Structure 1
């Protein structure tokens, strides 16, 4: 079995035909490229068709995925026919894992058109450390035509963007990176990541930042609603649960298009800490960080494992350290807060949505009654698609884990000043 990517389609463009095996997997980007280039995909074995990754995606049940303001009509589907005895298909591009299904195209400034094999624009608001890492990961993924860093210090945004541009040959990407001083100057976006705000200092809690960062996030969200009315917004600014709910209110967007990053970060921290003893790789630890991005973080140990086995003794200490990991980093840095893992986590969410992967990730989402919680932003497992949250996924939790999740939702509700409503 071979994974057939966009580069394979490009190589076959002169012939107009790309022959694949019956068991080969044709990626969504390859199929889209074939449509655009008029390349016919030919399956070798009679009666069989090559599998196409991503065909099982389903729309968010409560509202349709909005059309991009820069969307174009979809071309006719690439034809697939059957033929015997194909020549060998060369191995797919080594960068294939970085590419997902295409987004509606965004035209690059100056009329140059989108970068080869990439479409769409991401705006990262805040060119500090977290925004820089987010922009870097998104550019390196080589998925988008453009990544724009926005900062009130326009010179910093432009300088970071130029510095990232200088890494294009080193990292092998064609994504354009530029800086801007305002959301309006950045232009319409498919995805907006809000990292702007004051960072924690030693001795500060995330909630200490509420009033200062609420003014910043609210203003940014309102501007995004005007410039990018169809965008998906990912909030990174602390206190994250409260700021995500604030961004949702300020933007007026449907809740599936406003989500917070924390769960991906907190899960990654737990996985890394659980692997410190060397008994397992961090990426072989399965876990979910739910609830609040803070003291009410809930890591259901009934759902945690390492290489398929229950975690060993000392796991409670790992949970406690994961809850305090942000403060631990702040204390060690002495100035500023964590940025490598937060920026990477935000980019990871955007890339999953851009690929329309249907991947389930823990995120701060508006609870819809699942888990007996409603009308408050709280960390829950969410299935992500191109238009944001497709659905909230319900895990089978133990009674004490579910109770802890309810408690986290109530504490967040108190902080955002909403009545208890329908929460259980």
Structure 2
């Protein structure tokens, strides 16, 4: 990619800029934020690590949304973060106005870009961005499942002691308490996790995965997670920038897959240079489908508030 713009120079945006620059996934990273001088300061700080990490990526900051002009991809991390005791849906009203403004700016300054939504509630805001932009569904998608799957993988690694490199997991549904981890598709070097972990412990891992973000928020107290989210964003961008055609859980607009329409949900997708190239429609069991539909109902309840 030539240029990636990150809208929101908070902790997730800053860490993402650092990781993108180090990986040299684009020639230029632009940070845009409404806070005066904040994105410029973040950009300068990241840029001054270039001699240590040996990258040539240009990193800049601006308070002017016109700075996103020429972007191949716009990453949305701006918005009000949730606080301890809050759900992701609790920040919908404020962040709805944020996403609307960003989409309007994208239509004006970067009409050919793709958009990766990270701000919460990510499923609803991804749907809103797609709806407001009028872009093809492959160009507007959200980050959640990659993060949730990585959290589940880490809990499996902690339980078994095996290398995290060998752990493969998949999580579907909305990015919240109703998310749907699928242990049937989780393996350790191709071997189902049931071979190594009891059903009782798997259930505990599923529960901890669903509360993974809240657990970090309660421990940090003054900040939600930002390292793992930034790594998840970077892994998705790597798949797109390098046209890897990786299958990754992604918040995508559904058009009949899983029996759902007019909704954005976390599902396996093929990520390539066009964004979401394909939604992978898994054959779910009746139990798994019931959980997926319950998660969809929670997302639809928030979409109804738009």
Count, aligned residues: 301
1:275-328, CA deviations, whole angstroms, 9 ceiling, x for partnerless residues? 113521223111111101011100111111122222211011001001001111
- Structure 2 Cα separation of the partners of residues 306 and 292 of structure 1: 25
Residue 135 (1) aligns with residue 17 (2): yes
Partner of 1:275, secondary structure, is: helix
> Which residue is equivalent to 2:68?
186
Partner of 2:158, secondary structure, is: coil
Q: Unaligned stretches of 5+ in structure 1?
A: 1-102, 104-119, 419-424
- Structure 1 Cα separation of the partners of residues 25 and 57 of structure 2: 7
* TM-score of the superposed pair, with normalisation by structure 1: 0.69
> Which residue is equivalent to 1:266?
148
- Pairwise CA distance, 1:159: 0.8
- Pairwise CA distance, 1:229: 0.8
Residue 331 (1) aligns with residue 218 (2): yes
Q: Contact 2:255 / 2:262 at 8 angstroms: preserved in 1?
A: yes
Residue 160 (1) aligns with residue 42 (2): yes
Partner of 1:276, secondary structure, is: helix
> Which residue is equivalent to 2:300?
413
Q: Contact 1:280 / 1:307 at 8 angstroms: preserved in 2?
A: no
- Structure 2 Cα separation of the partners of residues 194 and 182 of structure 1: 15
Q: Deviating runs (4+, > 6 A) in structure 1?
A: none
Residue 292 (1) aligns with residue 174 (2): yes
- Any residues of structure 2 matched to 1:88-237 within 5 Å, and which? 103=1, 120-237=2-119
> Which residue is equivalent to 1:26?
none
Residue 302 (1) aligns with residue 154 (2): no
Which of 256, 264, 278 pairs up with 2:138? Answer: 256
Partner of 1:217, secondary structure, is: helix
Partner of 2:175, secondary structure, is: coil
Partner of 2:159, secondary structure, is: coil
- Aligned CA-pair RMSD: 1.5
- Pairwise CA distance, 1:374: 1.7
Residue 369 (1) aligns with residue 256 (2): yes
- Structure 2 Cα separation of the partners of residues 175 and 409 of structure 1: 40
1:177-210, CA deviations, whole angstroms, 9 ceiling, x for partnerless residues? 0001122123220000000001111111111101
Larger radius of gyration: 1
- Structure 1 Cα separation of the partners of residues 18 and 132 of structure 2: 28
Residue 387 (1) aligns with residue 258 (2): no
- Structure 2 Cα separation of the partners of residues 389 and 372 of structure 1: 19
CA distance 1:186–1:372, change in 2 (3 Å): closer
- Structure 2 Cα separation of the partners of residues 398 and 274 of structure 1: 23
- Pairwise CA distance, 1:367: 0.7
* TM-score of the superposed pair, with normalisation by structure 2: 0.95
Q: Contact 1:302 / 1:398 at 8 angstroms: preserved in 2?
A: no
Partner of 1:123, secondary structure, is: strand
Q: Contact 1:234 / 1:261 at 8 angstroms: preserved in 2?
A: yes
- Structure 1 Cα separation of the partners of residues 95 and 48 of structure 2: 32
Which of 236, 239, 244 pairs up with 1:349? Answer: 236
- Structure 2 Cα separation of the partners of residues 359 and 343 of structure 1: 18
> Which residue is equivalent to 1:378?
265
Partner of 1:152, secondary structure, is: coil
Q: Contact 1:149 / 1:161 at 8 angstroms: preserved in 2?
A: yes
Q: Contact 2:127 / 2:263 at 8 angstroms: preserved in 1?
A: yes
- Pairwise CA distance, 1:411: 2.0
Q: Unaligned stretches of 5+ in structure 2?
A: none
Bigger mean CA offset, 211-220 vs 307-316: 307-316
Partner of 2:252, secondary structure, is: strand
Q: Contact 1:225 / 1:253 at 8 angstroms: preserved in 2?
A: no
Partner of 1:144, secondary structure, is: coil
Q: Contact 2:30 / 2:67 at 8 angstroms: preserved in 1?
A: no
- Structure 2 Cα separation of the partners of residues 182 and 247 of structure 1: 20
Q: Contact 2:47 / 2:58 at 8 angstroms: preserved in 1?
A: yes
- Pairwise CA distance, 1:347: 1.7
Higher helix share: 2
